[in-house]
A and B are shown apart, each in its own frame.
Chain A
Amino acid sequence: MGHKKSHRPYGWCLGALAVTIAVFAAGQLFLCVAYPRNAVGFRLEEGDAANLQGFTLQGLWRQSETAMLSFTLKDGELSTKPRLSNSESDTTWMMARCNLCVPEEDWQEVDAAAEGSYVSGAYGAYFLKTSYEGMQYNAQVTHLEAMYTLTAADGTDRSIRFSLGELETAEPVTVTAELYGEKGNQESYGYFVSAGAVQDIDADIRDVQVLSSTDQVALYIQGGNGESGGIYCVRKFCTSDEIRKQVPEVTVHGVSVPSQTEPYGSIEEVCPFEEGEEMVVCDNQENTRLRTGRWMLTQTQDGTLFLRLLDEEWRPMNRIELDTKLTAGQTVTALPAMRSDEIVFTVADETGAGKTVLLRMQDENIGMQEELALVPESPPITAGFSEDGSRIMTVQETKKELTGTVPGSVQEHYLSSQSLTEELQCSAMAVTGWQIQVYSSQNSATPVLTASLEYGLPQRWREEVWMNGIYDSERTIYLFRVIPAWQTEEAPA
């Protein structure tokens, strides 16, 4: 034996090399075989999926713009596709483990940044303080100016600035606008001055609303005093860098501000309303960017509802009178639809009771229309016809209470900047899935419930979402929400 060793001293060496190669190869094989690229999914808990024949539902279960789980429910078969758009998608396969550790504040920013909209502005003097430009001050009384910075979903930020001063609206007009700092900066402030007094950002201002801010900024300006309202589009965009380059700064009362001599936002009326017509609701839901057209509901002074169909440029395509009249106290809410040719909205009174109206459009007119009673406890998040229109599907979120003890170490783990060591008893309602109901609609004055199914996150995922979703900045438990963003099908060729 010793003689053999002296002639082949590298025998053991080769053995060690073989073992090493085997271990690494086994590791790679394990990763390749077991990698569950489509394993994160939802489970049918109750009901028979065969009842969903003829329906196609697509949606997103989204934590952020870069981490989402898209799923498709087609003829009862539900498939999911993890979509992690960050560069580490090969290694961070489970978004619920990593990307759920997002502060609540980021959620708000992400949601708003994706869909734009609302808050702050004033007629007359205008006072803004944003985190990226410092203090801005505009003392012009006859003009209305606003700086609008949007952090777009693609990570870039766009800023516009527009003037409404030349519109000569009879009533004092306020502009609502979202103010953001540079990308990633959560600090944003908005104040406005009206009649010489600083007012709060959360004041209820509804005269002007921002309808869209993703592709282009569209505003709804309410009419009044004989003036009709309408939709206006801001036509010129500048990046914040361009604004800095183009606009020379001047000093007003010791504060450096951009000059007002070169307004670089132009605004155009694209859809004038009839006299007395007011917007009730606009389809500016989360899936707006997935749609090719837009719609809004308006009402006349007697409460009659009108459906306005608009093209991508917010120009009018058709105006249809609906057989619904709004009474005092009723509110209308637009819901994301399951198909691009369908429109869903609810009409509810103060108690939440009312109806869900489902329309399928055909050649810019209503092809099918159904109404369902609205249950206040479980309002739908979407609804739609089956392919042949014989049945209706409604989807409600299901919520369940999750309870448990969160030790200080877990809180500390997700909150490295704070040291919380006490155990925390948690109990909170969390969205865990969807209740799907199928109604027959053919030859029936009132749709009849024919099937009820429940899809949801498996128990394991619920707990994981719950545990990983804890973020405690002020010892308040936040749970990450399921945000449905129902994609529409592609338009038929």
Chain B
Amino acid sequence: MKMIGKMIGWHWRLVWVPFGLLCGVYGVQQAVLVLLSASSKDLFGNGLTELFLRCGQMPLFFVAMFLVAVIAAAAARSSGRAHSLYTVYTLPHSRRNLPVVQFLLCLLLLLLFGAWQLILYAVLYLPVTMVSAGVTAEMVSVALPQGSLLAEFNANPLMQLLLPVSPKGWGGLIAFLGVLSLESACMACCHGIRRVFVSLAALVGAGTASSTLYLWYHLVVYAIKSPGEWLLLAFLAGTAALSAILTLFNAWWSVKRTEAL
């Protein structure tokens, strides 16, 4: 167990720079886009949640999560001055520790990125509200209400995913993080065409999870429950489930073949 901890720490040192860069770029783009949207008269009347969604931040979040998984997987394949594989080969531990290490490392990075998103969202609330209020004052004779920070957290489907309040929500979050971490571990431990396959499965899974979440939000909030939309929701949920099943299969296969070493 101590060896696993040490390996996570070692791999963390290999990935923290690209991970930090990703967080930085993500934070800057989000702040810029949301603030620009808030200052737009065309989007007047929308709260932080709507601005966040209109700027495409939800799919971007899932793309970033996928990139986090890729970065975590890259730790085991780093080259240059780090040469992690050499270190791994020489460490006195079971070869099957590597998938576990990669899984936990990716889980940690995903959680950290989720926390970063929560902080970003909370920090952006005040400036966005101020900018939006300024635009409102120019256009409307009455003081329009602004959603409170709590309201914005509750209304945003992504925040509902990251801050679950029901067993169903907790299950969704754990499943999402678990599957993505597992996919990252598989990416790290597989070779050749299998790695491409796993990467695609992870990408499809993240994409469908994002789409499913957004469509569900759309159906609940706007009460537009046409059969076509339910069909699309079922299709997306099915695709996400298929992606998860493929991931489990890949994980099993990776461990069985111990392809990592």
Interface: A409 (CB within 8 A): yes
Q: Is there contact, CB below 8 Å, between A16 and B112?
A: yes
Q: Which residues of A contact B41 (CB under 8 A)?
A: 407
Q: Do A34 and B163 contact each other (CB < 8 Å), given the known contacts A20-B112, A403-B142?
A: no
A17 touches B13 (CB 8 A): no
**B residues 130-161 in Cβ contact with A at 8 Å:** 139-145, 147, 150-151, 153-155, 160
A-B pairs with beta carbons under 8 Å apart, 28 shown: A10-B5, A11-B9, A13-B5, A13-B108, A16-B12, A20-B111, A20-B115, A23-B115, A23-B119, A24-B114, A30-B153, A31-B153, A31-B165, A91-B154, A91-B166, A92-B155, A94-B151, A98-B221, A101-B221, A102-B223, A405-B140, A405-B141, A407-B41, A407-B42, A409-B43, A410-B44, A410-B45, A463-B144
Count, chain B residues at interface, CB 8 A: 47
Q: Please tell me which one of the listed residues B42, B111, B147, B165 contacts residue A24 in the complex, with CB atoms under 8 A apart.
A: B111
B6 located at the interface, meaning its Cβ lies under 8 Å from any Cβ of chain A in the complex: yes
A247 at the interface (CB under 8 A from B): no
A407 CA to B132 CA in the complex, in Å?
14
What B residues does A16 contact at CB under 8 A? 12, 108, 112
In the complex the two chains form, is B12's CB within 8 Å of A34's CB?
Answer: no
Binary flags per residue of A391-406, CB closer than 8 Å to B gives 1, else 0? 0000000000011111
Which B residues are in CB contact (< 8 Å) with A90? 165-166, 169
* Shortest Cβ gap from B58 to chain A (Å): 15
Q: Is A351 an interface residue (CB 8 A)?
A: no
Bound state CA distance, A13 and B112, in angstroms? 10
Residue of A with least CB distance to B50? A413
CA distance A12 to B220 in the complex (A): 41
Please indicate the chain A residues that have their CB under 8 angstroms from the CB of B140 in the complex: 404-405
Total residue contacts A-B, CB cutoff 8 A: 132
Contacting A at CB under 8 A, from B165-212, are: 165-166, 169
Contact partner, B118, options A8, A27, A461, Cβ 8 Å: A27
CA distance A459 to B222 in the complex (A): 25
CB nearest to B16 among chain A residues: A12
- B61 located at the interface, meaning its Cβ lies under 8 Å from any Cβ of chain A in the complex: no
Inter-chain CA distance A97–B156, complex, in Å, is 12
**Bound complex: CA A201 to CA B153 (Å):** 48
Residues of chain B lying within 8 A (CB to CB) of residue A30: 150, 153
Is A19 a contact partner of B9 (Cβ separation < 8 A)? Answer: no
B239 adjacent to chain A (CB < 8 Å) = no
A86 touches B43 (CB 8 A): no
B8 at the interface (CB under 8 A from A): yes
Main secondary structure on B side of the interface with A? helix
A215 interface residue, CB < 8 Å from B? no
**Is the CB of B256 closer than 8 A to any CB of chain A?**
no
- Not counting A16-B12, A24-B162, a sample of 16 additional A-B residue pairs whose C-beta atoms are within 8 angstroms of each other reads A20-B112, A24-B111, A24-B115, A31-B154, A31-B163, A90-B169, A91-B166, A91-B169, A92-B221, A402-B142, A405-B139, A409-B42, A409-B44, A460-B145, A463-B142, A467-B45
Chain B residue with the shortest CB-CB distance to A458: B145
Residue of B nearest to A86 (CB): B220
Say yes or no for A239: interface residue by CB 8 A criterion.
Answer: no
Q: Is B39 an interface residue (CB 8 A)?
A: no
B214: Cβ under 8 A from any A Cβ: no
Answer yes or no: A321 CB below 8 A from chain B CBs: no
Q: Is the CB of A8 within 8 A of B9?
A: yes
Residues 210-235 of B contacting A (Cβ, < 8 Å): 220-225
Is B118 a contact partner of A463 (Cβ separation < 8 A)? Answer: no
**Interface check B26, CB cutoff 8 A:** no
Is the CB of A35 closer than 8 A to any CB of chain B? yes
Given known pairs A24-B114, A97-B147, the reply for A10 and B163 (CB within 8 Å) is: no
Give the residues in chain A near B57, CB-CB below 8 Å: none
> What mask results when residues 24 to 48 of chain A are scored 1 for a CB within 8 Å of chain B, else 0?
1001101100111000000000000
